[in-house]
């Protein structure tokens, strides 16, 4: 039986359904099938792939580490994993598993990215184990006891001396991860029959998941955003709802002492929202999600017209010493970086790049009247003066001013359930 325990979380929901996982996937407390030990698998050892089964690991506790060659945290954790594997070699086995193919892993093995050299071993080109132990994120650990029973599933940073000793004594207390099934409501593997809507809001980090997605299933459509600060969630929704929105047009009317912005990603102040509606309302999904947050999070966002500081981008062709109008060619836009290219782009893309600069604190308005596509040479800039020095040869200027603008303003409320 699967049990989801929410500790230190606030849950707001309108539908709940208990559901078992698919037959192939194992849950906590399940024993691995005989084929788990006997099926041949591709092991990379000393840079070469050999076929062998898992029976050599039978009879001792086993930790399976799911990883990939693109996963930076996985690679950073390899030296410590190798140290622990040696330290506990008489008591426990640790096996790495990846879906990456032989060529990808062989390239990694031979490269400077491999931090443990010839000590590296892994099952490669895996399909079966990934289906047997479903997960949303890597590194992902599966803890199996000496009897072949699945005892826990954790994130990669749970691999430590203390936790291995706890597992060996049967006292590992790390909260297990929950697999999030695609195109279903959170924590379920199928949607309830006849579901019309579903709303869920959680305050507090849910381990093991980190992405955002739109989903669709039958007569319903939904969106879910995992483990992000409320400011980030409201920003995502506003970008989809208001064509004028940028981070500079986001304003709090209170001093943030409650973790709304949460730049340090404090786990207690991360939020997850899951909202489903009938498909005919899919065009309003972001608006309805924002309304749901306003009604349940303790904060409320609304559009207000405010007299605010702004930057206006102006174009004075008589001052230009370099050609701004494009010469054509394949469009390219790498932003303000060293050696960047900006070719055959609209002026709005340049304004977006400017607003992405951390030092630009006010909204940037297009006052150029330009209708043609443009070319520019861009580079890294660290302040407004350096930015204008880059723009001026093309006849462009960023000028400070004030103007009444629509802004997304967030207030505190007492609307929490």
Q: What band does 10 get if pLDDT is binned at 50, 70 and 90? A: very low
Q: How many CB atoms lie within 10 A of CB 35?
A: 11
Alpha helices in 154-301 (DSSP H): 161-168, 230-241, 285-296
Check whether 196 has a pLDDT greater than 70. Answer: yes
CB proximity list for 288: less than 8 A, separation 6 or greater: 275, 277, 281
Using CB atoms within 10 A of its CB, is residue 333 exposed (0-12), middle (13-18) or buried (19+)? middle
Q: What is the mean pLDDT of residues 132-140?
A: 92
Q: What is the pTM of this model?
A: 0.74
Alpha-carbon gap, residue 363 to 372, rounded angstroms? 23
Q: Which of 28-42, 90-104, 166-180 has the lowest mean pLDDT?
A: 166-180
The pLDDT value recorded for residue 3 is 32
Residue with the larger pLDDT of the pair 108 and 24: 108
Of 38, 208, 40, 64, the closest CA to residue 145 belongs to: 64
Give the Cα separation of 237 and 289 in Å (integer).
8
State the average pLDDT for the chain: 90
pLDDT for 187 beyond 80: no
Alpha carbons within 13 angstroms on the beta-carbon side of residue 273 total: 23
Distances (CA, A) of 291 to 89, 192, 251, 279, 367: 54, 24, 17, 18, 33
Region 334-353 average pLDDT: 93
Residue 350: phi and psi, rounded to 5, are: -65, -45
Indicate the pLDDT class of residue 398, thresholds 50, 70 and 90.
very high
DSSP 325: B
Helix axes 230-241, 285-296, angle to 10 degrees: 150
HSE on the CB side for 20, CA within 13 Å?
7
Return the higher-pLDDT residue of 30 and 210.
Answer: 30
Q: Let me know if 151 is exposed, middle or buried by CB neighbors in 10 A (0-12, 13-18, 19+).
A: middle
Q: pLDDT by residue (tens digit) across 279-331? A: 899 999 999 999 999 999 999 999 999 999 999 999 999 999 999 999 999 99
Q: Which domains does the chain have, with CATH numbers?
A: 1-23+180-304+407-417 (no CATH), 26-168 (3.40.30.10), 317-394 (no CATH)
Of the candidates 72, 54, 60, 74, the one whose C-alpha atom is nearest the C-alpha of residue 123 is: 54
| Pairwise CA distance, residues 374 & 346, whole Å | 6
Are the C-beta atoms of residues 225 and 272 closer than 8 Å to each other?
Answer: yes
Task: Please identify which residue in the block is written with the tokens 């960023």.
Answer: 398
Contact indicator for 63, 160 with CB cutoff of 8 Å: no
pLDDT on residue 417: 53
Q: What is the pLDDT of residues 378-393, one digit of tens each?
A: 999 999 999 999 999 9
User: What pLDDT is stored for residue 18 in this prediction?
Assistant: 32
Percentage of the chain beyond pLDDT 70 is: 93
Mean pLDDT of 117-139: 94
pLDDT in tens, 55-77: 999 999 999 999 999 999 999 99
CA distance 208 to 64: 15
Residue 17 reports pLDDT greater than 80:
no
- Say what the pLDDT of residue 40 is: 96
- Band of pLDDT at residue 202, cut at 50, 70 and 90: very high
Element containing residue 274 per DSSP (H, E): strand 271-278
Pair of tokens at residue 178: 């929950």
pLDDT of residue 214: 72
């Amino acid at each position: 039986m699967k049990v989801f325990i929410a500790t230190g979380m606030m849950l707001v929901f309108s539908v709940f359904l208990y559901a078992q996982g698919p037959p192939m996937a194992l849950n906590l407390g399940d024993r691995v099938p005989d084929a788990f030990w006997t099926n041949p698998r591709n092991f990379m050892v000393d840079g070469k792939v050999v076929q062998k089964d898992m029976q050599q690991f039978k009879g001792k506790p086993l930790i399976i580490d799911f990883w990939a060659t693109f996963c930076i945290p996985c690679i950073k954790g390899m030296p410590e994993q190798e140290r622990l594997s040696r330290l506990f070699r008489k008591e426990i086995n640790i096996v790495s598993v990846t879906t990456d193919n032989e060529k990808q892993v062989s390239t990694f093995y031979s490269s400077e990215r491999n931090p443990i050299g010839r000590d590296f071993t892994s099952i490669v080109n895996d399909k079966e184990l990934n289906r047997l132990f479903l997960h949303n994120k890597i590194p992902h650990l599966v803890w199996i006891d000496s009897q072949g029973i699945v005892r826990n599933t954790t994130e990669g940073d749970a691999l430590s001396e203390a936790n291995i000793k706890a597992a060996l004594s049967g006292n590992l207390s790390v909260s297990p991860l929950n697999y999030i099934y695609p195109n279903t409501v959170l924590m379920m593997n199928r949607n309830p029959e006849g579901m019309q809507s579903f709303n869920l809001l959680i305050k507090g980090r849910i381990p093991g998941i980190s992405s955002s997605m739109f989903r669709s299933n039958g007569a319903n459509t939904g969106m879910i955003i995992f483990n992000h600060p409320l400011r980030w969630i409201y920003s995502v929704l506003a970008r989809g709802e208001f064509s004028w929105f940028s981070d500079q047009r986001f304003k709090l009317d209170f001093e943030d002492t409650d973790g709304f912005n949460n730049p340090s990603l404090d786990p207690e102040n991360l939020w997850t929202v899951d909202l489903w509606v009938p498909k005919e309302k899919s065009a309003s999904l972001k608006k309805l999600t924002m309304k749901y947050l306003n009604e349940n999070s303790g904060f409320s966002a609304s559009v207000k017209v405010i007299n605010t500081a702004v930057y206006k981008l102006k174009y004075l062709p008589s001052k230009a010493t370099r050609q701004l109008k494009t010469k054509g060619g394949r469009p390219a836009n790498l932003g303000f970086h060293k050696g960047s290219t900006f070719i055959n782009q609209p002026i709005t893309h340049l304004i977006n790049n400017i607003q992405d600069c951390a030092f630009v604190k006010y909204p940037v308005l297009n006052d150029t009247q330009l209708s043609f596509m443009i070319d520019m040479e861009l580079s890294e800039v660290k302040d407004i003066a350096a930015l204008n020095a880059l723009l001026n040869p093309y006849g462009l200027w960023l000028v400070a001013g004030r103007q009444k603008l629509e802004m997304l303003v967030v207030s505190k409320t007492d609307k929490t359930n």
